[in-house]
Amino acid sequence: MTATVRIPTPLRGYAGGAAEFEVGGHTVGEALAQLTTRHPALRAHLYAEDGSLRNFVSAYLNDEDVRHLKGPATPVREGDTITIVPSIAGGARDGGTPAGTVEAPERAEPSLMPGRRLAEGIAERAGAIELARDEVYRYSRHLIMPEVGLDGQRKLKAARVLLVGAGGLGSPLGLYLAAAGVGTLGIVDFDVVDETNLQRQVLHGTKDVGRAKLESARDRIRDVNPHVEVIPYQVRLTSENALEILEPYDVIVDGTDNFPTRYLVNDACVLLGKPNVYGSIFRFEGQLSVFYAKEGPCYRCLFREPPPPGLVPSCAEGGVLGVLPGIVGSLQALETIKLIVGGASPLIGRLLLFDGLAMRWRELKIRKNPECLVCGENPTVRGLIDYEEFCGVAVGQEVAEDEIPAITASELKTRLDRGDRVTIIDVREPHEWQIANLAPYGARLIPLGRLAERMHELDSANEIVLHCRSGVRSARALEQLRAAGFRRLWNLKGGILAWQEEVDPSLPRY
């Protein structure tokens, strides 16, 4: 049997850059085995040491998760499509530093119709709300739609929505929910506006560089719609404050860019019985769903555990097309409005995949996992835990500091100036090499995804310094070489960004 395996953007660097392959095999396991035989670097991303599929990667046969079929033994028919769906980090780490376990209130009983109880609850508050004359005119294009109408607009004004993040996804969310007339918008963010944000974070402008994102977002939203109340939370969202912050809101919208906060938001929403409108982005691909444990699956039902630290690149490492968060964030705003107004079909139990490069949409089913630790039949997670520890962030950082031999840019420059024989290997992608490189110092380019097949080009007797943009990918390359028997290895601390700061300010910074 011949099937098509679709490779997501984060993994294409380990598959020669291809988006899909035709493979043979009678089962999903045989097809994936053939794929990883062709591209061995993919194996570590798809399989655990015991040979099972990793829990942070889902394999779909057509639109069904194979874990709800027969797993790797699921039969494949001629022309079937196998889609690999990895968890996506989204951007630079902005997670909290939770400590201990925070207990949650009693879980709410499930409702009978998806989203209906939420809309009915908001409708009770909306009954006492009137629209001013200028609001009627402002929202007139909504009011003449029977799907919204006056009652729907009152629900929007009565609704309380919390945005977790005021960055790439939070920007279109804030603008469109405010424009739509959502009465109260809470925003959690503690970051400041950086010049690199402006390529996609349209809530902020050049004049806002250096300002707190919350200040910039508040001013822009008030300009869009002065009828909206903006409640800022300039704090890290942690297990100690999440339940208190999320509790007053009807809908939580996940605009996070890291795994600790994403699992924190998911668990808090499950414990509080609130819908979680999820979106994530990477390069030119996006994911979208509504996780509502009262009506269907939660995020942990799809990705039972996070990937190891550093395995999934962030937007800072991998990049993101500037318009992509606008597309995904706008769809999150749409799902939020549908939940508030009611009478529509939200993305509960469905995962929407968007490939902007191919301009292709794909919808996959997500089923509730009865063994889910937080929303399953016998949950063991009954309070908020330490999500940094759960995602291995703190542990991973300690290992990086204690076990990865590092050299600073200044130290490397000193050694090069005195004529030490050092091999410099750049593990970034070719397009990054074109932006800035250390070729004048003898650096060679071997992208991380091709390191396994080009390892023979390196002499283990030589002293090798590995570098990338900031030091994350090169640390993984060092571990890969060390496992292959190389010993004289160094990781350039801070990568080429540190070289630009400490040695050569004329290099472009990206």
Query: Buried b / exposed e across 146-171, counting CB within 10 Å, b at 16+?
Result: eebeeebbbbbbbbbbbbbbbbbbbb
Q: Where are the domains of the chain?
A: 2-86, 102-115+150-396, 404-502
375 annotated active-site = no
* Proportion of the chain above pLDDT 70, given as a percent: 91
Report the pLDDT value the prediction gives residue 390, as an integer from 0 to 100. 85
pTM: 0.79
Per residue in 147-202, pLDDT tens? 999 999 999 999 999 999 999 999 999 999 999 999 999 999 999 999 999 999 99
Q: From CA 419, how far away is CA 412, in angstroms rounded?
A: 11
Length of the chain: 510
* Mean of all residue pLDDT scores within the chain: 89
Question: Whole-angstrom Cα distance, residue 58 to residue 80?
Answer: 16
- Whether residue 467 is predicted with pLDDT greater than 80 in this model: the reply is yes
Region 434-462: mean pLDDT is 94
What is the C-alpha R_g of the chain? 24
Distances in whole angstroms, Cα of residue 230 to Cα of each of 172, 333, 394: 15, 16, 33
Marked catalytic residue, from 269, 298, 315, 375? 315
Is residue 315 part of the annotated active site? The answer reads yes
pLDDT, tens digit (0-9, with 9 covering 90-100), for 316-367: 677 789 999 999 999 999 999 999 999 889 999 999 999 999 999 999 999 9
CB atoms within 10 A of CB 112: 7
Q: How far, CA to CA in Å, does 123 sit from each of 71, 126, 338? A: 43, 5, 13
d(CA 126, CA 489): 64
Give 99's pLDDT tier (boundaries 50, 70, 90): very low
Options 1.10.10.10, 3.10.20.30, 3.40.50.2300, 3.90.1200.10; which CATH number does 2-86 get?
3.10.20.30
Whole-number Cα distances in Å, 375 to 86, 291, 298, 307, 390: 21, 11, 7, 20, 17
Distance CA 22, CA 34 (A): 10
Q: Residue 91: is its pLDDT beyond 60?
A: no
pLDDT category of residue 93 using cuts at 50, 70 and 90: very low
Fold classification of 404-502 is Oxidized Rhodanese; domain 1 (3.40.250)
Q: In this structure, which topology does domain 102-115+150-396 adopt according to CATH?
A: Rossmann fold (3.40.50)
